[in-house]
Amino acid sequence: MNTPILILTIVLLLALSLFLVSCSSSNLIVSLQLVTDAVEVALPVLQAAGVDPVALAQAQTYLTAVSTAISQTSTELASKDTTSQKISAIVGYFAAAAVPQISNPKIAAVVQAVAAAIKSFLAILQSTLGTPTQLIGTVTATAGTIQPNFGERRKLASIKAQAEKQLKVLAGLKH
């Protein structure tokens, strides 16, 4: 099996497994870690020699937006903001990361794996609240709460550090 397709399959299976467990802030953090891991898997593909410069630039822009959103989300989830404020901010962070259409199959596969992990994360975020009035824009919490405990805050700090390292790697990629 082609490596990017295998990666995509693994990420999708992990995302699906998260849907099958009850939603809590811990599951939300695990899902955010999966997004971070998907970006981590994409980096060696982008660093490979002979990568199409146009596809590389598109993926680099997208993954930079995603890693920025991960870093911001880690901070927001650990904040004392209300759950609806957190949701609204986080959705805005990921809305800034538009998935590019990439013709290079290897790069497209890892970008799609990241996009699938984000979709899973946002679905878990939505289900943590119950049923928000809308996912993008102003969100009104009808149920649920996002208040991470000490251990979860440490995990969020670790995710943020990983995302910031990814941003440095992405900034160093040459087209």
Residue 25 has pLDDT above 80, yes or no: no
d(CA 157, CA 42): 22
Q: pTM, whole model, 2 decimals?
A: 0.80
Q: For residue 60, what is the DSSP state? A: H
What mean pLDDT do residues 121-147 have? 59
d(CA 119, CA 53): 27
CA distances from 107 to 103, 127, 151 (A): 8, 30, 35
Enter the tokens of residue 35.
């997004």
The confidence band for 166, taking pLDDT boundaries of 50, 70 and 90, is very high
The confidence band for 150, taking pLDDT boundaries of 50, 70 and 90, is confident
d(CA 22, CA 106): 34
143 or 12: whose pLDDT is higher? 12
Q: Where are the domains of the chain?
A: 3-171
Q: Is the dihedral of CA 114, 119, 124, 126 positive or negative?
A: positive
Residue 85: predicted pLDDT = 87
CB 97 within 8 A of CB 69: yes
**In sequence order, which ranges of 20-149 are alpha helices (DSSP H)?**
25-47, 53-78, 83-95, 105-129
Residue 148: predicted pLDDT = 80
CB 159 within 8 A of CB 69: no
Percent of the chain scoring above 90 in pLDDT: 53
Q: pLDDT averaged over the chain?
A: 81
Residue 162: predicted pLDDT = 97
pLDDT in tens, 29-39: 999 999 999 99
Enter the tokens of residue 92.
């805005």
pLDDT in tens, 70-102: 999 999 999 988 888 888 899 999 999 999 999
Residue 152 has pLDDT above 80, yes or no: yes
pLDDT in tens, 109-121: 999 999 999 999 9
